[in-house]
């Protein structure tokens, strides 16, 4: 017969959902200064919530660069 409830349509919608969810997370991670692969944590139940809280309240690499990089004052 078939594969039951897990057919081609189910696989397609699973991949579509993963892409819709992971791609924006990837972009956010890259803009925050992290490796984009961290976005795959968004697909793991409960781990995604812990990662969200850790990333939200930690110092991002881009913030650290902005704090340590102070423009030099120009003297003429």
Q: How far is CA 6 from CA 14, 19, 22, 45, 48, in A?
A: 10, 19, 22, 20, 25
Residue spans per domain, the chain? 30-59
Task: Give dist(CA 39, CA 47) in Å, integer.
Answer: 11
Residue 40, both tokens: 């795959």
Query: pLDDT of 17-71, one tens digit each?
Result: 889 989 999 998 898 888 999 899 888 999 999 988 998 898 888 877 777 766 6
Tell me how far apart the alpha carbons of residues 54 and 73 are, in angstroms, rounded to a whole number: 36
Q: Tell me, what's the pLDDT at 3?
A: 57
Q: What is the value of pTM for the model shown?
A: 0.64
């Amino acid at each position: 017969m078939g594969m039951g409830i897990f057919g081609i349509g189910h696989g397609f919608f699973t991949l579509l959902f993963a892409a819709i969810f992971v791609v924006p997370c990837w972009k956010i991670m890259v803009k925050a200064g992290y490796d984009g692969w961290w976005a795959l944590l968004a697909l793991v139940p409960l781990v995604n919530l812990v990662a969200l809280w850790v990333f939200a309240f930690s110092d991002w690499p881009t913030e650290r660069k902005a704090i340590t990089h102070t423009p030099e004052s120009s003297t003429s």
